[in-house]
Structure 1
Amino acid sequence: MDFPLARQRFYQEIRQPDEAIDLAKAALYLAQEEYPDLDAEEYLNALDTMAAEIKERLPEEAYPLRIIKTINQYLYEDLGYYGNKDSYYEPENSYLNQVIDRRTGIPITLSLVYLEVAKRLDFPMVGVGMPGHFLIRPVIDEMQIFVDPFSQGEVLFAEDCQQRLSEIYGRPIEMRPEFLQPVTAHYFLVRMLNNLKVIYLNQSDIPRSLATIERILLLFPDSPIDQRDRGLLYYQTGRWTEASQDLEDYLLQVPDAQDSTVVRELLRRMGREV
């Protein structure tokens, strides 16, 4: 099967060592499958321009909190970026080109804009994949602070993250150290794709659901849940050879899965004995 050109570009980007992956390019190649006329360079240039304009406003003594304050004023006050709470589950919120055009998005895509601008200011930051939310933090040894790009760049300490987590889940949640660890580029992209996967599955949009899962499996080929989900979509569309392969691989990886009985029954219907 021939992949679209955008998929090939995405694959070329992610097959590099994790630290060499350009997140903005990878995210734009994801978007190109949905928006074939998208010019990636146009949006990379837009990020360059944002950073250049912020650089002109930085104070002479550019301490971390001053840099964050300057970025926040530019993105949220001058450009009007905001977290899209009213239409959180719109797929557009997960595509970087749409986030830049509409100046709104969800935590992970607003974090991506912020990270890319900060990178261009030589102010390195990393993503923090907190459950149910996404934050970023500066790479600074002497202090640990977090920034919430979905909430106008609010600066948080670890205790604030605990409170934010409990607010999201509506009950007290125990903060674990791993919740505040930096994430890899591969994980960052999978978080973006998982958002789209949930949206498209809920919309019963099988072609887009399949395309999304296929790209997740490019990042993590042995993800059993995604092998299972792709197999189920193949089954629904009558592609039983591919469905059988995926579902058999799923059972090999997770033989005691809670849904193993259902999966085995599907395989029997397709004439496969497990």
Structure 2
Amino acid sequence: MTNTHPLPDWNTLATLGDDELPLLDTALLIARDEYPDLDAAGYAAQVDTYAAALRPQLEQDIDLPARLTAINRYLFEEIGFAGNNVQYDDPRNSYLNEVVDRKLGIPISLAVIQMEVTRRLGMPLDGVSFPGHFLVRLPVDDGILVLDPYNKGRPVSADELRERASPHLGGQSPDDQQLLQILAPATHRMILMRMLRNLKGLYLERGDWERVARSADRLLKLSPDTAEALRDRGLAYREMGYAKGAREDLARYLQLLPEAEDLDAVRTALIELGSGGARLN
């Protein structure tokens, strides 16, 4: 069957601007690594269907809060998208096809669905790479409205945002300027890289080195000089017995970060690899 919805080519993504990257299609590209037979056209059409179902409700002359309420009620109550509180660390929560099929996700994957649907309805919803828990934001007349897609898209107050950010700032509550900086819109590249980092972290915890290497490799397709991705791909290659690739990645990591905190550990790994301490593939 002819692919009626071709996805981007990994090898071209680094050349695109941060927001030129197609968010939905690249998220589906990430999922296709795990699900080679993924029906990209079907999932893109499903998002279109959500927007089409909402459009008649929003054509009436209703204000912004009412529009958001209608969108959130549809996505999180009628369709049933929800945060996966029971199995938060399940990698399926990060693959968009699984999120659509199971109606379960983590903050960032639910945010991508909410953003893609809302943007199709002419509302400029952006992601927020908030520490610990991804959020979305919408410009309003007197500032910005911040929403939590993991909790049915409910608005988050400035006081709650400060409280959430505080543990990530050494216990200090951010002032207005700091909070605005934290709430800056996340580019598509930032969103996709955060999705891949989430997956890489999950697979690192499991010792699934092939998927660690794959996730790190995809990060490098988006941003070729991402030091931590080079390190993690190199360490994964070492575990997989691919000594040449491990040496190249770890050496490049030390070039990029000559004063890295894990400098001694990486140097030791390189010495072991150089002396034949890794299996050769």
TM-score, L = length of structure 1: 0.90
Tell me, in whole angstroms, the C-alpha distance in 2 between the residues paired with 1:32 and 1:91.
Answer: 13
TM-superposed CA distance for 1:98, in Å, is 0.6
Bigger mean CA offset, 101-110 vs 51-60: 51-60
Query: 1:183 maps to which residue?
Result: 186
Query: 2:36 maps to which residue?
Result: 36
Query: 1:160 maps to which residue?
Result: 160
Corresponding residue SS for 2:19: helix
Tell me, in whole angstroms, the C-alpha distance in 2 between the residues paired with 1:48 and 1:70.
Answer: 16
Q: 1:137–1:146: 8 Å Cα contact kept in structure 2?
A: yes
Q: 2:54–2:71: 8 Å Cα contact kept in structure 1?
A: yes
Q: 1:168-220: per-residue Cα shift (whole Å, max 9, x none)?
A: 87x94533332211111111001100110011111111111111100001112
1:253 aligns with 2:256: yes
Tell me, in whole angstroms, the C-alpha distance in 1 between the residues paired with 2:107 and 2:220.
Answer: 23
Equivalence map 1:48-127=2 (5 Å): 48-58=48-58, 60-127=60-127
Corresponding residue SS for 2:87: coil
Q: 1:136-194: per-residue Cα shift (whole Å, max 9, x none)?
A: 1113453311010000111123322113345x87x945333322111111110011001
Corresponding residue SS for 1:145: strand
Which gives a bigger RCO, structure 1 or 2 (Cα 8 Å, sep 6+)?
Answer: 2
Bigger mean CA offset, 151-160 vs 54-63: 54-63
1:269 aligns with 2:272: yes
Tell me, in whole angstroms, the C-alpha distance in 2 between the residues paired with 1:130 and 1:7.
Answer: 28
| CA-atom RMSD in angstroms | 2.0
Name the amino acid aligned to 1:208.
Answer: R
Query: 1:204 maps to which residue?
Result: 207
Tell me, in whole angstroms, the C-alpha distance in 1 between the residues paired with 2:195 and 2:162.
Answer: 23
Tell me, in whole angstroms, the C-alpha distance in 1 between the residues paired with 2:96 and 2:10.
Answer: 14
Bigger mean CA offset, 50-59 vs 10-19: 10-19
- After TM superposition, the runs of 4+ consecutive aligned structure 1 residues lying more than 4 A away are none
Tell me, in whole angstroms, the C-alpha distance in 2 between the residues paired with 1:141 and 1:215.
Answer: 39
Query: 1:17 maps to which residue?
Result: 17
TM-superposed CA distance for 1:68, in Å, is 0.8
Could you say if the C-alpha distance between residues 222 and 14 of structure 1 is closer, same or farther in structure 2, counting changes exceeding 3 Å? closer
Tell me, in whole angstroms, the C-alpha distance in 2 between the residues paired with 1:43 and 1:7.
Answer: 12
Could you say if the C-alpha distance between residues 19 and 261 of structure 1 is closer, same or farther in structure 2, counting changes exceeding 3 Å? closer
Corresponding residue SS for 1:19: coil
Corresponding residue SS for 2:16: coil
Corresponding residue SS for 1:38: coil
Equivalent pairs counted in the alignment come to 265
Tell me, in whole angstroms, the C-alpha distance in 2 between the residues paired with 1:55 and 1:14.
Answer: 35
Q: 1:213–1:230: 8 Å Cα contact kept in structure 2?
A: yes
Corresponding residue SS for 2:221: helix
Could you say if the C-alpha distance between residues 243 and 43 of structure 1 is closer, same or farther in structure 2, counting changes exceeding 3 Å? same
Query: 1:3 maps to which residue?
Result: none
TM-superposed CA distance for 1:59, in Å, is 5.8
1:218 aligns with 2:221: yes
Q: 1:124–1:138: 8 Å Cα contact kept in structure 2?
A: yes
Query: 2:198 maps to which residue?
Result: 195
In structure 1, the gaps of 5 or more residues are: 1-5
Query: 1:227 maps to which residue?
Result: 230
Bigger mean CA offset, 17-26 vs 134-143: 134-143
Name the amino acid aligned to 1:65.
Answer: P
